[in-house]
Amino acid sequence: MMTREEERAEFWLLTKAILQDSSIDAEEARVIKRWLEEHQQGDEFAMAIARLDAFMADGYIDPRESRTIADSLGRLLAQMRQRA
């Protein structure tokens, strides 16, 4: 079992890899959502998961949604660092 610090490091690496091309497609959004669901304690990622569900409802991530997800991931990473 991973510590919270190891989980944060894993999420940071996952997010960095996904954001490397500055866009997020539907498959990458599914990967992020799955990671959040698997590592959620309580409802800490509930809002991010709900937003990803909404964006993925049509099976396509458009450029505006991609930017919004990228911005949200940046904020989530900052929040996770503050909790460290």
Distances (CA, A) of 77 to 9, 36, 46: 10, 12, 15
- Tens digit of each residue's pLDDT (9 = 90 or more) over 22-71: 889 999 999 999 999 998 888 888 999 999 999 999 999 999 999 999 98
Query: What range defines the domain where residue 24 resides?
Result: 4-83
How many C-beta atoms lie closer than 10 Å to residue 56's C-beta?
17
Give me the residue label for tokens 């992020």: 32
What helix, strand, coil percent values describe the chain, rounded to 5?
75, 0, 25
Q: For the chain, how many residues are written?
A: 84
Domain count, the chain: 1
pTM, rounded to two decimals: 0.85
Look at residue 28 in the predicted model and tell me its pLDDT: 94
What was the pLDDT predicted at 65? 94
pLDDT for 63: 94
End-to-end CA distance of the chain: 18
